[in-house]
Chain A
Amino acid sequence: AQSVTQLDSHVSVSEGTPVLLRCNYSSSYSPSLFWYVQHPNKGLQLLLKYTSAATLVKGINGFEAEFKKSETSFHLTKPSAHMSDAAEYFCVVSPFGNEKLTFGTGTRLTIIP
């Protein structure tokens, strides 16, 4: 069985400060992990993915995530928040690296001017 837990339903940061969105996963296999972003009234877009290569994964718009097997975590970070980062972020796990994905419940990121 596989599952994903996003530890915060809502995160607020000031513009220019670091962003940390936390995700823990559970998987019986060596999983693939993803972060997707959803801007208001839009579909989801892939931010980055981990597929058992480098444990530090760089994505679009300055985001990155680190796969830590010992902690079963895949936290998303960005050094400096921008107003355009305000959106909902989903951590996603796939046990076989294919399209059978399990989504977390999402973290809404608010940026304070």
Chain B
Amino acid sequence: NAGVTQTPKFQVLKTGQSMTLQCAQDMNHEYMSWYRQDPGMGLRLIHYSVGAGITDQGEVPNGYNVSRSTTEDFPLRLLSAAPSQTSVYFCASSSYGGTGELFFGEGSRLTVL
């Protein structure tokens, strides 16, 4: 099983550019989410989805956009990148309403110059 797959693993952007981080899971999980990880701050929830066509904001949603057209995919869009968005981004999935165990991708490291 591939589990949760994130692409790209590394990306460098200039301020103002846009890009999409891709996330796909093959476990038929209803719930998918995006976190950012910054030193000394743990993981913070950006956006999440409880099923196709349903998304909601997390703790730090500003500057990011998501959509969920299929169960498998949950892309994260940066509309106009800023240096404050330099971070490591993790996608995670789970069977909604289950045990609360999240399955994580290996992360995407983004640098905004």
Contact = CB atoms under 8 A, between A and B. Distances in A.
Interface of A: 9, 32, 34, 36, 41-46, 49, 51, 90, 94, 97-101, 103-106
A82 B45 CA distance: 32
Contact of B100 (A32, A41, A45, A105): A32
B71 interface: no
Contact of B97 (A41, A98, A103): A98
Contact of A99 (B4, B33, B40, B104): B33
Shortest 8 CB-CB contacts between residues of A and residues of B: A43-B104, A103-B42, A103-B43, A105-B42, A44-B104, A43-B106, A99-B94, A46-B101
Given A103-B42, A105-B40, A43 B100 contact: no
Nearest to A32: B100
A67 B102 CA distance: 20
Contacts of B4: 43
B90 A99 contact: no
Nearest to A106: B42
A106 B33 CA distance: 20
Interface in B24-45: 31, 33, 35, 40-45
Contacts of B96: 98-99
Nearest to B93: A99
B31 A104 contact: no
Given A44-B92, A104-B42, 14 more contacts: A34-B100, A36-B102, A42-B107, A43-B90, A49-B99, A49-B100, A90-B43, A98-B98, A98-B100, A99-B96, A99-B102, A101-B102, A103-B42, A105-B41
Contacts of A101: 45, 100, 102
A104 B97 CA distance: 22
Contacts of A9: 40
B104 A45 contact: yes
Most chain-A CB neighbours within 10 Å: which of B33, B42, B90, B96?
B42
Contacts of B41: 105
Contact of A43 (B94, B99, B105): B105
A22 to B, nearest CB: 15
Nearest to B32: A99
